[in-house]
Amino acid sequence: MSYIFRAIGAVLSFFNSFLGSYLLAVLLFALVVKVLMLPFGIKQQKNSVKQASLRPKEMAIRKKYAGREADREAQNQMQLEIQNMYRANNFNQFAGCLPMLIQLPIIFIVYQAIYRPLSYIANFSADQIKAAKDVIVANAETLKITLSDGKYVGSELDMANIIHSNKAMFESEGIITQNIPDFDLFGVNLGDAPSFYSWLIIIPILVFVAQYFSTKLIRKMSYQPVQNNGGCAMWVMDVTMPLMIAFMAFTFPAFLGIYWIFQSILGVGQQFLLKKLYPYPTFTEQDYRDAERAMRGKGPKGPSGTRTLPSGKTYRSLHHIDDDDE
């Protein structure tokens, strides 16, 4: 696994040297990853379009069991009929989960590569990292570092921040600093974690806003399957998840919060693009009525009172007697 981390670190290092900013390098890398993951997003979108195309048939089945929500046996039978309908139309409702499962390990790998810049960006060995820690411990008072039982327990991001801000000290001890990422942006150190006593507190706030609205927008642009769940639980999730991510943004360096904001924006842009490329079908009330008639074994109603028989022939009722079937 370390080979994968180092490969990603090499790409980040190249972007960093090319752009002259580690933050911009991380954002460019996020964009590249999103582009590479686009085929999986397309597969997921196509699966959603397929499910959306079956909505009239699903609604016809649900209407058949309307008013029997308290009858567990009836609800089980309804779900069975819906599953059989999906199967008969070659739709696998779990196919859309595969792209999400693939993305999880990729997110983990990217996070590790970003969170350990000494190992994967500066390409420090374990001995070099230990030597850098020894320098920090020996100069803890000067660096204003709090030790734990005489040991430094900060992350590699913290170490990179300390080394870059005190290059002369570490170079005098033989520590190579030229490949250490620079977290400075317009005079602000984005390697620091946000706090209530600095303007960086705006980062967790923007993380919450970006995550909350991106979730809303992506859901609005995505197909929503028919559900019987109340809106309260969904509202709680819409607020709880952004709050959790915003809380995490307080414990990580600020640039990781900016990375998360950028990912949220890219997610909205990707879903907007996919919706344009693979739009969801729209249906009229007549389509839903035709689906109900088809379920009852009757042909769909044609224009101007005509009827379509299972054989494909159409006829027109002079007295519209069979309109009552609607």
CB atoms within 10 A of CB 184: 16
Q: Residues with Cβ < 8 Å from 325, sequence gap 6 or more?
A: 293, 298
* 184, containing H or E segment: strand 184-185
- At residue 195, the pLDDT reads 84
Q: Which one-letter DSSP state was computed for residue 201?
A: G
The phi, psi pair for 11, rounded to 5°, reads -65, -45
- At residue 271, the pLDDT reads 94
User: pLDDT tens across 36-61, in order?
Assistant: 889 888 988 998 999 999 999 999 99
Measured CA to CA, the distance from residue 319 to residue 305 in angstroms comes to 10
**Whether this model's pTM surpasses 0.85:** no
Give the dihedral of Cα atoms 267, 270, 276, 279; nearest 10 deg: -60
User: pLDDT tens across 150-201, in order?
Assistant: 899 888 888 988 898 889 999 998 888 888 888 877 777 887 888 888 888 9
User: pLDDT tens across 244-300, in order?
Assistant: 888 888 888 888 888 889 989 999 999 999 999 999 999 999 988 888 888 877 656
Query: Among candidates 27, 90, 80, 74, which has minimal Cα distance to 261?
Result: 27
**What average pLDDT does range 212-239 have in this prediction?**
78
Q: Give the burial class of 220: count Cβ atoms within 10 A of its Cβ; 0-12 exposed, 13-18 middle, 19 or more buried.
A: exposed
Residue 326 pLDDT grade (very low, low, confident, very high; cuts 50, 70, 90): very low
**What average pLDDT does range 223-231 have in this prediction?**
66
Query: Among candidates 135, 103, 105, which has minimal Cα distance to 39?
Result: 103
Cα of 140 vs its chain's centroid, Å:
40
Residue 137 pLDDT grade (very low, low, confident, very high; cuts 50, 70, 90): very high
Average per-residue pLDDT for the chain: 82
Residue 320 pLDDT grade (very low, low, confident, very high; cuts 50, 70, 90): very low
Question: CA–CA distance from 275 to each of 44, 122, 198 (Å)?
Answer: 11, 40, 40
| Per-residue pLDDT at 308 exceeds 90 | no
Residue 321 pLDDT grade (very low, low, confident, very high; cuts 50, 70, 90): very low
- At residue 276, the pLDDT reads 94
| Per-residue pLDDT at 325 exceeds 70 | no
For residues 50 and 102, the model is more confident at 50
| Per-residue pLDDT at 213 exceeds 90 | yes
**What average pLDDT does range 302-313 have in this prediction?**
51
247: tokens are 């809380």
Q: ∠ at Cα 304 (303, 309), nearest 5°?
A: 55
Query: Among candidates 136, 178, 142, 139, which has minimal Cα distance to 158?
Result: 136
Measured CA to CA, the distance from residue 114 to residue 191 in angstroms comes to 12
Residue 227 pLDDT grade (very low, low, confident, very high; cuts 50, 70, 90): low
Measured CA to CA, the distance from residue 89 to residue 21 in angstroms comes to 51
Measured CA to CA, the distance from residue 304 to residue 64 in angstroms comes to 27
Measured CA to CA, the distance from residue 155 to residue 157 in angstroms comes to 5
**Residue type for position 293:** R
Residues 222 and 162: beta-carbon distance below 8 Å: no
- At residue 150, the pLDDT reads 87
- At residue 1, the pLDDT reads 67
Residues 222 and 48: beta-carbon distance below 8 Å: yes
Burial code (b: 16+ CB inside 10 Å, e: under 16) for 66-96 equals eeeeeeeeeeeebeebbeebbeeeeeeeeeb
